[in-house]
Amino acid sequence: MSLLVKAAPTGRVIADVTPASAGWKHVGFKALRLAASEEEALATGARELCITVLTGQVDVTVNAQRYSALGSRDSVFEDRSPTAVYVPPGREVRIAARGAAEVALSSAPARGLHPERVIEPAHMARSVRGQGSNTRHVCDILPQTEPAEGLLVVEVITPAGHASSYPPHKHDTAGDGETVLEETYYHQLNPAQGFAFQRVYTDDRSLDETMAVEHRDTVLVPRGYHPCVAPHGYDLYYLNTMAGPQRHWAFRNDPAHEWMLAPR
């Protein structure tokens, strides 16, 4: 099975990744494009949900509670954070678009330990990582420091000509300094006709797949290292959804490339 999930060019559902379709246990991811007044209804069942309003504005109703006019930007490449909603399991959810909107639904198994809440843009930590052509811009939507049972959600903008998730790192082995986390990358390009590259590979190369990623494609990372590169002229955005047996992000760099992190 390919790790690349191509975006549906038309229709409401851009991508729909389930544990069954991905062949793993934890992460679910769905991306939707909604026209004005269009609605999406779902039940969280035995899973927690993070709704990220990527663009546009939506009203979100959780059971009988309505949260109105959520959304803060027209493009994921704007220098501002999104709005998100955390929803515990056992809830009925309705998402109604006020105008054209795009939303991402990240989910993972949960028991219901935390209440629902709106995660406002001002509450999300923003940072710059790396240096030189390894510089990228990070927004922590649902980090491990904020309440959730399994989900970790973050978005990253990699400027044109830069690398990201680099030096290559992995999080597929439980132990000192590393945790097991499944992950999806939901990519967007600016301008939209562009492409980027992502490689997913293991130490023994039993998994080694390099993909040309286009606008709104999704990449599955079941294990292994997973660096990205944005060619000249095209900025790369991606939304990461992670979950695993332990809600903690600890990773191991590829030893072959860790030299570049040494002080100079």
**CATH classification code of 4-259:** 2.60.120.10
158-168 CB burial, b ≥16 within 10 A, e <16 = beeebbbbbbb
Closest CA to 83 of 96, 73, 95, 94: 73
Where along the chain do its domains lie?
4-259
Task: Quote the pLDDT of residue 262.
Answer: 85
**Burial (0-12, 13-18, 19+ Cβ within 10 Å), 259:** exposed
pLDDT by position in tens, the chain (length 264): 699 999 999 999 999 999 999 999 999 999 999 999 999 999 999 999 999 999 999 999 999 999 999 998 999 999 999 999 999 999 999 999 999 999 999 999 999 999 999 999 999 999 999 999 999 999 999 999 999 999 999 999 999 999 999 999 999 999 889 999 999 999 999 999 999 999 999 999 999 999 999 999 999 999 999 999 999 999 999 999 999 999 999 999 999 999 998 887
pTM of the model: 0.97
Q: What is the pLDDT of residues 59-110, one digit of tens each?
A: 999 999 999 999 989 999 999 999 999 999 999 999 999 999 999 999 999 9
Task: Quote the pLDDT of residue 116.
Answer: 97
3-state helix, strand, coil in the chain (%, to 5): 5, 50, 45
